[in-house]
Amino acid sequence: MGIIEKMRLDGKAAFVTGGARGIGKSAAQAFAQAGADVAIVDMDIDEARKTAAEISGETGRNIVAVETDVTSKEQVDLMVKTVVDKFGKLDIAMCNAGICINAPADEMTYEQWFKVINVNLTGVFLTAQAAGKVMLKQGYGSIINTASMSAHIVNVPQPQCAYNASKAGVIQLTKSMAIEWAKKGVRVNSISPGYIGTDLTLNSPNLKPLIQEWNRMAPMGRLGKPEELQAICVYLASDASSFTTGSDFVIDGAFTCW
Ligand code: NDP
């Protein structure tokens, strides 16, 4: 089989958390274009349904929407069961839902800290754990966790210690699961995007005013687009990456090279 065929996802079943919009939606589109059936998992079920209908219309794949808050173990376990019941198996899990709250470290409240860590780190743990249990039984599967360049550098000028710590945690969690499951057919990798134009950045009242400043610092002078992360997601989901596990992929237009 040639390399392009190996990157196809025909007959595979996937889910993407935070799949209703932004990076998750774009990854779900890519998985479906490559041939996979995909569950769009999100707290925002109306948007998830719209996204599922859009991707299904574009690709003809079986795309479903599942309402889930990734911080709830019960909801995550039920979501994975629903996906497996629908598709008969689970090949690809993208644990992508995440939030950002900006506050100086000395002023950050316990509630702000806890919320960010709970969604970004505990949510990824619960989701990858539930997916991993199914994949370990199957003897195969690929898990892709969304970390961030904020796991590698401290973003400036905005203060976001909880976000940065949560994303560094996602990378170590990824490596830990990858080692534990390496001989069992389950691969676990993470992606670390630089600034990407999504609702999280473009429509956040705190972050939007900083875009000019980020662009000034960015070697390419611009934000990335969600679709510029699609190829790495398809690669990691596919059999083309069969020797790739425990790796983190920084896709940031050289932002962290300074
Ligand atoms: P968006 O805010 O555009 O989309 C995130 C989606 O996740 C939203 O639909 C949101 O729903 C959903 N979500 C939030 N909390 C939960 C939850 N508890 N359970 C289920 N779904 C939830 O974000 P992006 O696409 O920009 O970000 C996706 C991931 O990429 C995040 O992990 C983010 O940290 C990471 N990332 C983003 C970068 C960027 O510059 N945009 C850079 C590097 C990493 P709702 O809108 O209802 O809250």
The pLDDT profile of the chain, 258 residues, written as one tens digit per residue, is 999 999 999 999 999 999 999 999 999 999 999 999 999 999 999 999 999 999 999 999 999 999 999 999 999 999 999 999 999 999 999 999 999 999 999 999 999 999 999 999 999 999 999 999 999 999 999 999 999 999 999 999 999 999 999 999 999 999 999 999 999 999 999 999 999 999 999 998 888 899 999 999 999 999 999 999 999 999 999 999 999 999 999 999 999 998
In a domain, 258, yes or no: no
In sequence order, which ranges of 88-210 are alpha helices (DSSP H)? Answer: 110-117, 123-138, 161-181, 199-202
Contact of 197 with 149, CB cutoff 8 Å: no
pLDDT of 77: 98
pLDDT of 206: 85
In a domain, 47, yes or no: yes
In a domain, 157, yes or no: yes
In a domain, 254, yes or no: no
Q: Calculate Rg over the CA atoms of the chain.
A: 17
pLDDT of 258: 84
Pocket test for ligand 1, best of 29, 43, 100 (most atoms within 8 A of CB): 43
In a domain, 188, yes or no: yes
Q: Which of 188, 198, 236 has its CA nearest to residue 36? A: 236
Pocket test for ligand 1, best of 200, 214, 222 (most atoms within 8 A of CB): 200
CA 165 to the chain's CA centroid: 17
**CB proximity list for 46: less than 8 A, separation 6 or greater:** none
Residue 91: count of CB within 10 angstroms of its CB = 24
In a domain, 253, yes or no: no
pLDDT of 41: 99
What distance in angstroms lies between residue 26's CA and the mean position of ligand 1's atoms?
12
Pocket test for ligand 1, best of 16, 23, 72, 196 (most atoms within 8 A of CB): 23
pLDDT of 227: 98
**Total structural domains within the chain:** 1
**CB proximity list for 169: less than 8 A, separation 6 or greater:** 117, 120, 121
Q: Which residues line ligand 1 (CB under 6 A)?
A: 17-18, 20-24, 42-44, 68-71, 96-99, 119, 123, 146, 148, 193, 195-196, 198-201
What distance in angstroms lies between residue 91's CA and the mean position of ligand 1's atoms?
22
What distance in angstroms lies between residue 1's CA and the mean position of ligand 1's atoms?
36
- For residue 219, the domain's CATH number is 3.40.50.720
What distance in angstroms lies between residue 99's CA and the mean position of ligand 1's atoms?
5
In a domain, 182, yes or no: yes
In a domain, 256, yes or no: no
- Global model pTM greater than 0.95: yes
Residues classed as catalytic: 148, 163, 167
CA distances from 79 to 31, 50, 85, 154, 224 (A): 19, 18, 10, 34, 30
- Look up the domain containing 39 and give its range: 3-248
